[in-house]
Chains A and B, each alone.
Chain A
Amino acid sequence: MSMGSDAQQKIESYLGRLRAQLRGADDEEVREIVEELRSHIMDKAAPSGEVSSAGVDASLAALGSPEDLARQYITDNLLARAEVSRSPVRILESLFRWASLSVAGFFVLVVAIVGYVLGVVLILCAVLKPFHPHTAGLWVSRDSTGDLSFFLRLGFGSAPMVGRDVLGWWIIPIGLVVGFGLVMLTTRFALWCARLYRRSRVLPRG
């Protein structure tokens, strides 16, 4: 097969942009994606064995932009992995990559981090309460202007000077139920957003 350097350069530039967007993904996975698309472009651009610059242009145009393609890989993988494992760690991993590609992904990531952190802290409060009976739990205090502030304490260190423990031992059942609930809801929310995002991308007619 013969190929002009112009055509070669176009292919490499497209694949380079795709690789850049997929950074952070597993190296082997990225290599497979890039090689598969390279093979597609070659087959498409050179049905008779001669790769022309115009043939490459047409096959790249039909593939869509590398940024779009990378986003599809990331949201599709996010869904597939989550369906298989539902692990928050894997979901966050994919969300970080999605966030680097789009504003929508960034917002989903922020909400997911808040949801997971709050959920995990609640669970930790409940688990640590038996070990720190006087210092762990949900504390509330009123400052001089009358504003209430709530804070979750894991109970390391001494008891706070102000405020009181509102839930007492109830932090154990409530913390566990609400904490695990939040982790599950956050997972659902992330999957729902990814699904919505997949659906909202309109297929241009190829």
Chain B
Amino acid sequence: MKAHEASEQITGDKWEVQLRKGCLELAILAALWDGKLYGLEILRRMESDSDLIVTEGTIYPLLSRLKALGLVRSEWVESDAGHPRKYYALTPAGRHRLREMAGMWARFSSSMSKLLAPLGKGK
């Protein structure tokens, strides 16, 4: 019985992790909508504006992937802190892709909400 509960707990956690990971690219692109940011700023924005929990290292390979796909571009900018920072900004293709993804997300989430509506009516 205990083992069964534990395995259910793991499956539930895994599902949540997959869900978060699936949304990560959309979240990163969305964080850049208003203008260029460097990695840590993107992380902080995601921490404050959403509860997407991110292992900090994860976003850098993802950013490099988005860059390889041509959705973001990057530039090094000198800072007061004494070291340069790598800023990312959306490319026109990235803005276009983000709009598309946001549309898909809105449709998906509204149909999910409809499906889940009976759960909110209480017992």
Chain A contact residues, CB within 8 Å of chain B: 1, 32-33, 35-40, 42-44, 46, 49, 59, 62-64, 68-69, 72-73, 76-77, 79-81, 83-84, 199, 202-206
Contact = CB atoms under 8 A, between A and B. Distances in A.
Contacts of A77: 61, 64-65, 68
Contacts of B57: 62-64, 68-69, 72
Contacts of A62: 55-57
20 contacts: A35-B84, A35-B86, A39-B83, A39-B86, A40-B40, A40-B56, A43-B40, A62-B57, A63-B55, A63-B56, A63-B57, A72-B58, A73-B60, A76-B65, A80-B65, A84-B69, A199-B18, A202-B17, A203-B20, A206-B55
B104 interface: no
Contact of B62 (A33, A49, A76, A206): A76
The bracket for how many chain B residues form the interface is: 20 to 34
B106 interface: no
A202 B14 contact: yes
Interface of B: 14, 17-18, 20-21, 38-40, 53-58, 60-62, 64-66, 68-70, 76, 81-86
Contact of A203 (B17, B61, B65, B81): B17
Q: By DSSP majority rule, is chain A's interface helix, strand, loop, or mixed?
A: helix
In terms of DSSP, what is the predominant structure of the interface of chain B?
A: helix
B82 A199 contact: no
Given A73-B61, A76-B64, A77-B64, A1 B81 contact: yes
A49 to B, nearest CB: 8
B76 to A, nearest CB: 8
Contacts of B60: 33, 36-37, 40, 69, 73
Contacts of A43: 40, 81, 85
Contact of A39 (B58, B61, B85): B85
A83 B97 CA distance: 15
Nearest to A65: B57
